[in-house]
Structure 1
Amino acid sequence: MSKKISYEILLLRSLSCLSVAMVHAVMFTTWIHGQIDSSILNGLLMSMRLFFNAGTPIFVFITVFLLAKSYSDGFPDKFLWKRLKYLIPPYISMGIIGSFYKVSENGLPLTFSNLAIESLKNVFMADYNGYFIIIIIQFVLLFYFFRPQLNKIPLKIGLSTSFLINFAYLAFFNFIPPFGIANDTLAQYLWFNGSVLPFIGWIFYFFLGFYCGKHYDKFVVELHRYKLYVLTAPILITLTMIALKTGGIPSVNSSKAVTYLFLVPSLIFLIFFVSSKLKSVPNFIGVISDHSFGIYLTHSVLMRVFQEFYIPIAPSIHPLITLILIYITCVGAALLLSYVLNKIPFGKYIIGVARDNSKFVKAKKTTTSTVQQKAAH
C-alpha cells in the first residue's frame, strides 16, 4: 500500500464515518432538547446536518475507487466470496438487532411478530442506517460483472451520462410527490425509503470512483492543476446549499438530496488534495478508519441508548454541550464495541470486519523517525 493511497483512504473512511455519526448526533440533540428557541442555533444545527450528510456518498465512493485502482486487469480467486461474506452477515445481524429499538420507538409490545416485521423491513427494505451496505454490494457486483464494458466507456461520456441519470432520478423523488398509491403512509415510505436502494440513485458516485481509481495518477495531477477550484468549490457549494435549504429547496433532509451530486465530489477532491500534501496522519485517524464499518453500523443504536442518560439533564445544559457529549461518547463506544467484537470468534460477522491500516501508519512513522535519527548522526 503506497503512502498516497493509504493516507487518502484513511482520511476518506474516517472522515466519512465521523460525518455520518455527526448527522445522527445533531438529530438526537434536537430530539433530546425538543423545541430549540434560538434561530441561530437551529440554523447552525441545520447547516451542520446538511454538510455532514455527505458522509454516506463518500463512504460508498471509496468501494469503487479501491476496486478500480486494484483490480483494473482482473480478479483474484474467490473475489466475490471474500467481500460478500463480510458484508451480508453484519447487514442482517444489525438489521435484526435494530428491530428491537424500532418496535420500542413505535410504541409496540416487544412480541416475536412485531420484531419479525421490523427485522424483515430492515433486511429487505434496508429500513435502517445499514442501507449503505446494499449500495456497496450493488457496486461490487456491477464492477465484477461489467468491468470489461466499463473499461470501454470514455471518461467524459461515463461521467456526464451517469451524472444526468443520477440527477434526473434524485430530482424526480426530491420534487415529485408520491402518486398512484392509495395508502398515504405506504406511499411516503416507498417514495422516500424505497427510492434510496437502487444503484441508479448512486450511479454517478460509482462512475466517479471508477474513473478516479482507474486514472489515479492523472487524477492527482489534475487536482493540483486546478488547485484554486479544489480549495474553493466546497465552500461555495456548501453556502449555496445552505441558502437553498433556507428556502426549503429541496425538502429532502438527507444525502439523497440532488444537491449532494455537487458537494460530494468537491469534498472528495479536497480530501485527496490535502492528503497528497501530508507526510503522516495521526494514529487515531488510522484507528477510526480501521473500525469505520463497525462505527457506522452501531453508533445510532448506541445513541438511542445514551440519549436516556442525557434526557434528564438536558434542561440544565446547552444543546451544543449535549451534541458534543453524545457524539464523543457514542463514537467512542462504537469504536470500543467494534474492537472487542473483532477479538472474538464470529464478532466480525455481527459488526463488520476491522482493518489493520493503523499498523501501516505506525510502521510508516517508525520508519520515518528511524531514518531521520540516522540522518542526524
Structure 2
Amino acid sequence: MKQIFEIYWLRFYGCIAVFLYHLLDRVNQYADNVYLDLSRLFTVLGTPTFIFISIFLFTIRYGKTIPAGFLSQRVKYLLIPYVTYAIIYSGSQYFLAEGHPLDPGYGQLLVNYLIYCDWHGYFLLIAIQFYAFYWCYVRYDLGRYFNATVGVAIGTLISMLYWGSATALDITLPGYLLWVIPIGWLYIFFFAIRIARQYYYDRLDSGLGLRGQAALLTVAFLVMIGVILVTDIELSSKEVWVMPLFLLFIGVMMRLFKGRGAPAFVRLINRYSFGIYLAHPLFFGIFEVVSQKLGFGVIGYTLLLGIAGFLCSLGLSALANRHPLGGLVMGRRLRIGTNAGRSSQAVAS
C-alpha cells in the first residue's frame, strides 16, 4: 500500500487539536475571554479527524476484503486502554474528592467512567462501533444498496438533525452517552469511504480544486469568527456547524499535503498520538495541583500544563511501549513508515 503522507499531517493535527482543546478548556476556567474562544475554534475538528483517519485507512488497506480477526484485534487494542484509563481517571477523581460532602464514592465514579463514558475516552467507544459498522458494510457488501456518495449526503443530514435536536430540546443522558451514539458521527463514516475510493483511483482532484476549497474554508472560518465575536456559541465538535466545516477541512488537507513528507517531529507525534490522547488530562490534573501550590498566574499555569503535560504524556507512552503488554494496556504506539519524511509515494502507512 502506498504511504499516504496526508494522514500523517491529519493525525498530527488531530492529536495537537484535542490536546489544545482540553488545555484551553482548563485555562478558560481562569481567564474566560473571546481570544480563548477564537483559539478553540481551530481545535474543534480534532475528534472528527481521528474518526475519519481510521475508516479512510481501512478502506484503502482492505478494500472489499476484511482479514480474519479484524474486529477482535482492533476492539482489543481500544477496549483494554479504555478500561485502564477509566480506572485511572475515576481513581484520581476519587482521591481528589475524598472527604468532600459531594463525594459520590469510588463505585459510582467507576460506573460513571466505565459505563457512562464520562471522560474523553468516549471516542474509543465511537471508534469501536464504527469498526463493527465497517466490518458489516464490507462483509455484506452494503455499498451495493447504500453507496458512500449517497451516504455522505444522508449521513450529514441525519447527524445535523441529531445534534440540532439534542441542542434544541436540551436532551441529556448520563455521562457522555449522548456523544457515544454513532448517529451523530455517521457523516464521517461515509465521507471517509468516499474520499478513500477517490484517493485510490486518483480522482481526488476532480471537482472543486485546492484553491476553491481553501477559499470556501477560509470564508467558513471567518464567518465562525464573526459569530464567536457577537454570540455565545458553543465550541465543540458536537455542533451542527462543525459538519460542513469538517468536510471542507478534510478536502483542503488531503489536497494541500498530498505527497509532502512529514518531518521528524510530525512523525514522532504520530507514533505516540494514541498515548498522548489518552494520558494528557491526567498530567493536566497533576500539574494543576503543582501550579496552585506554586501560586502561578494564568500564563505560568498555561505554560506548565502545556509543556509538562505534553512531554509527560509522550514520555509515558514511550515508556509503556517498551514492552508489548505495556502498549496493549496503556495505548499502543503506531508503526510509522521509514520513508514517511520523504516527499514521494512509497510504502505502507
The separation in 2 between residues aligned to 1:136 and 1:151, in whole angstroms, is: 24
Give the unaligned 5+ runs of structure 2.
none
1:150 maps to 2:131:
no
- Corresponding letter in the other structure for 2:204: V
1:298 maps to 2:279:
yes
The separation in 2 between residues aligned to 1:113 and 1:309, in whole angstroms, is: 25
Correspondence list, 1:332-371, <5 A:
332-357=311-336, 359-361=338-340, 364=342
1:56 maps to 2:39:
no
Instruction: State the match for 1:265 in structure 2.
Output: 247
Contact 1:286–1:357 at 8 Å: present in 2 too? yes
The separation in 1 between residues aligned to 2:2 and 2:100, in whole angstroms, is: 53
1:172 maps to 2:154:
no
The separation in 1 between residues aligned to 2:238 and 2:173, in whole angstroms, is: 14
1:286 maps to 2:284:
no
With normalisation by structure 1, the TM-score equals: 0.83
1:203 maps to 2:196:
no
Instruction: Select the residue among 289, 297, 309 that pairs with 1:330.
Output: 309
1:273/1:103 CA distance change after superposition, 3 Å: same
Task: Report deviation, 1:229.
Answer: 2.3
Q: CA RMSD in A?
A: 2.7
For the residue of structure 2 that corresponds to 1:215, the secondary structure is helix
How many positions carry a matched residue from both structures? 342
Identity %: 24
The separation in 1 between residues aligned to 2:110 and 2:339, in whole angstroms, is: 38
Contact 2:51–2:127 at 8 Å: present in 1 too? yes
Task: Report deviation, 1:157.
Answer: 1.8
- Corresponding letter in the other structure for 2:328: Y
Contact 1:234–1:263 at 8 Å: present in 2 too? yes
1:309/1:233 CA distance change after superposition, 3 Å: farther
The separation in 1 between residues aligned to 2:99 and 2:54, in whole angstroms, is: 38
1:107/1:260 CA distance change after superposition, 3 Å: farther
- Corresponding letter in the other structure for 1:355: L
- Corresponding letter in the other structure for 1:264: F
Contact 2:37–2:235 at 8 Å: present in 1 too? no
- Corresponding letter in the other structure for 2:333: A
The separation in 2 between residues aligned to 1:203 and 1:159, in whole angstroms, is: 8
Structure ID, larger Rg: 1
1:277/1:348 CA distance change after superposition, 3 Å: closer
Correspondence list, 1:28-177, <5 A:
28-31=26-29, 34-35=30-31, 42-104=33-95, 106=97, 114-147=105-138, 148-177=141-170
With normalisation by structure 2, the TM-score equals: 0.89
- Corresponding letter in the other structure for 1:28: R
Instruction: State the match for 1:185 in structure 2.
Output: none
The separation in 1 between residues aligned to 2:147 and 2:336, in whole angstroms, is: 33
1:285/1:138 CA distance change after superposition, 3 Å: same
For the residue of structure 2 that corresponds to 1:62, the secondary structure is helix
User: Which deviations, in whole Å up to 9, do the C-alpha atoms of 1:271-310 show, x marking residues without a partner?
Assistant: 21121152x2211111111111111011111111111222
Give the unaligned 5+ runs of structure 1.
37-41, 179-187, 369-377
- Corresponding letter in the other structure for 1:290: R
